[in-house]
Structure 1
Amino acid sequence: MACYTSRMSSRARPRGVIPIDPKRRFVVTIRESLVGLHGALIVAEQATYEAVNGPVGSVETLLDLLQYNPWFTWLHPISDLLVRIDHLLEDDAFEIAEENVDHLMREIQDLLRPSVEGDGFERAYYEALQRAPDAVLAHFRVRQMLPEAA
Structure 2
Amino acid sequence: MTHHPATESRTQLKTLSSALRKVHKTLVDLETKRFGDPGNAFEHLQLLTSHPQFAWLRQISEVLVEIDERLDDKEQPVDDAAVQSVRKTLASLLGAENSSEFRQKYLDALQESTEVAMAHGELRNRLSQLAPSS
Using the size of structure 2 for normalisation, the TM-score is 0.85
Q: Which has the higher contact order (CA 8 A, sep 6+)?
A: 2
Query: What's the CA shift string for 1:28-77, capped at 9, x where partnerless?
Result: 11101111110000000011111xxxx21211111100100000000010
Structure 2 alignment gaps of length 5 or more: 1-5
Distance in 2 between residues matched to 1:132 and 1:114, nearest whole Å: 19
**Equivalenced residues, count:** 126
> Which residue number in structure 1 is paired with residue 18 of structure 2?
32
Q: How does 1:48-87 map to 2 (within 5 A)?
A: 48-50=34-36, 55-87=37-69
Pairwise CA RMSD of aligned residues? 2.2
The 3-state SS of whatever aligns with 1:56 is coil
- 73, 83, 93: which is aligned to 1:101? 83
**The 10-residue stretch of structure 1 (104-113 or 81-90) with the greater mean CA deviation from structure 2:** 104-113
Q: How does 1:131-146 map to 2 (within 5 A)?
A: 131-146=112-127
Largest Rg, 1 or 2? 1
Using the size of structure 1 for normalisation, the TM-score is 0.76
Structure 1 alignment gaps of length 5 or more: 1-19
Distance in 2 between residues matched to 1:77 and 1:119, nearest whole Å: 11
Query: What's the CA shift string for 1:52-110, capped at 9, x where partnerless?
Result: xxx21211111100100000000010000000000100035632122121111111111
Distance in 1 between residues matched to 2:73 and 2:82, nearest whole Å: 14
- 120, 125, 146: which is aligned to 2:101? 120
Amino acid at match of 2:53: W
The 3-state SS of whatever aligns with 1:96 is coil
Calculate percent identity across the aligned residue pairs.
Answer: 28
Structure 1 stretches of at least 4 aligned residues deviating more than 4 Å after TM superposition: none
Question: Which structure has more helix as a fraction of its residues?
Answer: 2
